[in-house]
Amino acid sequence: MSHSTATPEVTTGRNTRGLILLSIGVVLTLAAVALLFVTIVGISSLQADALARINEENLSYRAEFGFVERELSSLSAMTAIPAAILVAAACFLIPGYLRRRGVMAERDTTFWRGGSTTAKFKPLPLGLHAAWLLVPLAAWVVLVLIPLQNLIGGTAWPAGLQDENATAVWMLLASYGGLAAALFTVILVSLVKKAVYVRHIARHPDAVTGSAGKRTWRWLTFRWRFDLWIAGLGGGFLGLCWIALGFEDTPFFITTLVIGLALVAGGLLLAVNYWRAGEPLGAAESYS
């Protein structure tokens, strides 16, 4: 991709638009996190109210997730809305980041070298990259680890709920815990990928030109990022396999753990060979 020849005025406008997009994305992300927190507290109240009326024998009980039937729709909305907001936030955060820290361009496509739209941006420093690991890790602890510890210890979570209903609540919210675990693994594998790439290129400056398998590696690790997709899927398995321990289902735990470890190992194997793609860090292209 050629160097940018944008004038200072154009660059300033691009940065301003990028800042606006980033700001919208950050606001949406914070709103999603706040709503998820409200959901955790709100579900606790919803459950407590339902159980009180069930105990008074005024309502029929439906066993699904420990909720009465007419409240299941409210539960579905409460748990789905934060995810929808996070998807919307990504639509602002990604282009905003590219506009602030990179350059986007267009080019003709071929089968192996596609990308009608390309982007090149400055990668995060290794230290800042590593610091981002704390965000999904904290989410996983709150949504999976703490409820699991309480479940194993026989303590209701959220507080005040009967055991079987508390289990249903945190199992429902664990879907976000699985997403957090997948994100943690993607960031971790991406960090390893960056560290290995930088060290390898420092020792072998000409290695970035690729190898005999350049096209295959480029297709796998650059265009489609299969290294991160596979690792993220494995991270989801690893983040949620511990739930089986709460139900004393050791075979399921071991099976899921092995699958997760195998997927993460496969993603890592691809990631540490990213230099074979012949592309620098901080570059990307669209499919079409």
- Catalogue the E-assigned strands of 16-151: 102-106, 117-121
Residue 255, pLDDT > 90, answer: yes
Beta bridge partners of 121: 102
Domain residue spans of the chain? 1-106, 121-288
And the tokens for 183?
Answer: 């994100």
And the tokens for 255?
Answer: 């099976």
Q: Which residue has the tokens 């540490």?
A: 272
Q: What is the CA radius of gyration of the chain?
A: 23
Q: What is the pLDDT of residues 268-281, one digit of tens each?
A: 999 999 999 888 88
Among 93, 89, 162, which Cα is nearest to 121's? 93
Question: Residue 156: its pLDDT value, please?
Answer: 58
Q: What is the pLDDT of residues 48-99, one digit of tens each?
A: 665 566 566 555 544 444 554 455 556 666 778 888 999 999 999 988 988 8
And the tokens for 210?
Answer: 């690729």
Beta bridge partners of 102: 121
Residue 103, pLDDT > 60, answer: yes
pTM for the model stands at 0.81
- CB count within 10 Å of CB 73 equals 10
Length of the chain: 288
Among 165, 186, 140, which Cα is nearest to 66's? 165
